[in-house]
Amino acid sequence: MDHVDILIVGAGIAGLRALYSLRGAGFDVRVAEASDELGGVWNHNRYPGARCDVESYDYSYSFSSELEQEWTWTERYPRQPEILSYLNHVADRFDLRKDITFNARATSADYDEEAARWNVAFEDGSRLSCRRLILCLGQLSAPKTPDYPGQERFRGETIVSAQWPRREIDFRGKRVGIIGTGSSGMQMTPVIAEVAERVTVFQRTANYSVPAANAPLTDEEIHEVKANYAARREMTRNSPTGLGFQPGKVRTLDVDPQEREKVFEAAYNRYGFGFALAYPDILLDPEANAVASEFLRRKIGERVNDPEVRAKLLPVTHGFGTRRPTVDSGYYEAFNRGNVELADIRATPIVEFTETGIRTAEKDYPLDFIIYATGFDALTGALLKPRITGRHGLTLKEKWARGPITQLGLGTAGFPNLLIVGGPGSPTVLSNVMVSTELQVDWLTDLMKTLRAEGIEEIEVSPEAEQAWNAHVAERVSETLYMTADSFYNGGEVKGKPRVFMPYSGGVRHYRRLLETCATGGYSGFELR
């Protein structure tokens, strides 16, 4: 069996960054990547219109000022191919590929208590032993697909948005059905509608979306960002979300309606995702949330011509932001085209798939393509795919059967020398993941250096610490409105998944302080031996 000091699983944003930092610190480190390419979600989500809804310059690594200066983003919100080129550029620029093994899907990891090592097995039968195992498996990387009667009968092509084929797909003259109206469905709808003969969007839940106000970056904007990167980074790390804006200071209802309208209008037109921060209490106070939700419903309504379609597109099942809102480029306007229709499958559910399309309780939709833009088994899905067995034969799946439990999102008791980036219990999907990932990786790198310097064989989360952390995660979310809706944040939309709020809602800035306190306190909450 091959041996390595540190094995990182996953060569997405987190895995690449961890490789760069740990190798730079002199560790013997290797990355195992399931795909034949790096990039994680940006490798797999190649659907038309895929782009990031965080601004390009904020969705970039901060570890090298040379890299910051030499890479020039072209748009405010970068498209998937541009992000993938960026990640490839980073890999080439820092010679990361030589330590990545591609086509290496980890299927299991077993902790050998006597040797204090992890034995990792891969799909091709190979094995690797490592002292420390770092899981960088992504938050939204285990796609989930629907389960409708007759799916196998459909004779057209079925595509999963998060496993988009690499070949060119020609939608010209085709009838395309899109199931799902989260970010993926909303991003692809207007783009596919430009070429397809007909697009039918199958909507179960109307969602809130704010226009992206996307545009090519001007020379002045690029200059401004590059000249002030350090300050910008500091600002994002000190913000609640890792995004480039701070929340408003006054409470929503303490402002008179005309003034509030102006603030909402400005945030709506410029901020994209940051609309949620126009006032600090939009996700905390039901009345504030109701006012913001109403504003957005009005705005959505203004974008749709047909009154019947408009009524169906207005979100009414939940408050703005309690499920992940989206940032779109022309989603609602697409319904004003002659070739886009909305199938409201909450009112008239899908009954079955047929050989030629989808039958709902209302009618038959003949289709050539069906696209599942139906989301992910978020946060725990990818972590629980390999069979990970810690002390006393306990698997991670068994340990987390009633929901994930961690210390600071970084590890869990009974699984020594196993560390997680971007996992449950950290800001993860509630943040700009570039920022939260870099915070965690820098912290882990310092931890590894300390373990090496002090000759520490094992690090393991203490059971008391993880209980306390989970209680804190639950307490923080209880101050918010997040649990008022089922979402991928709380597992409520996956059958059989425990309904537990998984990310840490206390904000990036606070989380950063907690990481520092943990480290300066001798890695409190972890047992070092």
**Beta carbon of residue 183, minimum distance to ligand N01 (angstroms, whole number):** 3
Q: Residue 154's closest CA among 372, 347, 342, 339? A: 372
Smallest distance from ligand N01 to CB 416, Å: 31
Closer CB to ligand N01, 184 or 380, in the complex: 184
196-225: contacts with ligand N01 (CB under 6 A): 204-205
> Of 333-341, 370-378, 386-394, 413-421, which part binds ligand N01 (CB under 6 A)?
370-378
Closer residue to ligand N01, CB minimum distance, 161 or 395: 161
Extract the tokens encoding 249. Answer: 């200071």
Among the listed residues 19, 282, 429, 441, the single contact to ligand N01 using CB under 6 A = 429
Residue of the chain from 79, 237, 324, 512 that contacts ligand N01 (CB under 6 A) = 324
Q: Any contact of residue 146 with ligand N01 (CB under 6 A)? A: yes
- Looking up tokens 């979402």 gives 487
**DSSP assignments along 102-133, one per residue:** SS--EEEEEEETTTTEEEEEETTS-EEEEEEE
Q: Which range of residues in 49-57, 100-108, 273-281, 471-479 is near ligand N01 by CB under 6 A?
A: 49-57
Number of other CB atoms surrounding residue 414 within 10 Å: 20
Among 17, 23, 51, 303, contact with ligand N01 (rule: CB under 6 A): 51
In the sheet that holds 357-360, the strands lie side by side as: 350-353, 357-360, 364-366
Contact between residue 275 and residue 210 where contact means Cβ atoms under 8 Å apart: yes
Q: Which of 391, 328, 373, 370 has its CA nearest to residue 53?
A: 328
Tokens 């833009």 -> residue? 373
Nearer to ligand N01, 438 or 493 (CB): 493
Near ligand N01 by CB under 6 A: residue from 375, 411, 427, 491 = 375
Shortest distance (Å) from residue 39 CB to ligand N01: 13
Q: Name which of 376 and 443 has its Cβ closer to ligand N01.
A: 376
- Please give the residues from 493 up to 522 whose contact with ligand N01 meets the rule CB under 6 A: 493
Among 12, 39, 78, 182, binds ligand N01 (CB under 6 A): 182
Distance CA 58, CA 154 (A): 42
- Rounded Cα distance between 414 and 393, Å, is 10
Chain positions 293 to 312 lying near ligand N01, rule: CB under 6 A, are none
Asked if 181 touches ligand N01 (CB under 6 A), the answer is yes
**Between the CA of residue 366 and those of 190, 217, 227, 362, 363, what are the distances in Å?**
20, 41, 54, 13, 10
H-helix segments, 53-164: 65-70, 80-93
Taking the complex as a whole, the smallest distance from the CB of residue 98 to ligand N01 amounts, in Å, to 29
User: In terms of CB distance, is 88 or 205 closer to ligand N01?
Assistant: 205
Q: How many CA atoms lie within 13 A of 459 on its CB side?
A: 26
Closer residue to ligand N01 (CB): 369 or 488: 488
The radius of gyration computed from the CA coordinates of the chain, to the nearest angstrom, equals 23
Residue 412 C-beta: closest distance to ligand N01, Å: 23
Q: Please measure the distance between the N-terminal and C-terminal CA atoms of the chain and give it in whole angstroms.
A: 26
> 410 and 459 in contact (C-beta within 8 Å)?
no
Q: Does 49 bind ligand N01 (CB under 6 A)?
A: no
Decide if residue 159 touches ligand N01 (CB under 6 A).
no
Q: Which is nearer to ligand N01, 180 or 422 (CB)?
A: 180
Tokens 């946060």 found at: 379
Per rule CB under 6 A, count of chain residues that contact ligand N01: 24
Q: Is 52 in the site for ligand N01 (CB under 6 A)?
A: yes
CB burial of residue 496 (10 Å; 0-12, 13-18, 19+): exposed
Q: Give the CA dihedral 262, 265, 271, 276, nearest 10 degrees.
A: 80
Binding segment toward ligand N01, per CB under 6 A, in 183-191, 360-368, 381-389, 514-522: 183-191
Q: Does residue 318 interact with ligand N01 by CB under 6 A?
A: no
> With respect to ligand N01, which residue has the nearer C-beta, 188 or 410?
188
Whichever of 140 and 518 has its CB closer to ligand N01, that residue is: 140
What is the DSSP-derived secondary structure letter of residue 248?
P
Residue 424 sits in the site that holds ligand N01 (CB under 6 A)? no
Task: Return contacts of 67-76, CB within 8 angstroms, 24+ apart.
Answer: 67/93, 68/226, 68/229, 69/226, 72/222, 73/217, 73/222, 74/216, 74/217, 75/51, 75/214, 75/215, 75/216, 75/217, 76/212, 76/213, 76/214, 76/215, 76/216, 76/217
428 binds ligand N01 (CB under 6 A): no
Any contact of residue 191 with ligand N01 (CB under 6 A)?
A: no
* CB nearer to ligand N01: pick between 159 and 345: 345
- Bridge partners (DSSP) of residue 326 are 209
**Rule CB under 6 A: is residue 331 a binding residue for ligand N01?**
no
Q: Within 458-497, which residues bind ligand N01 (CB under 6 A)? A: 488, 493
Residue number, 214 or 445, with CB nearest to ligand N01 = 214
Q: Could you list the residues that contact ligand N01 (CB under 6 A)?
A: 51-53, 140, 146, 179-185, 187, 204-205, 324, 345, 373-376, 429, 488, 493
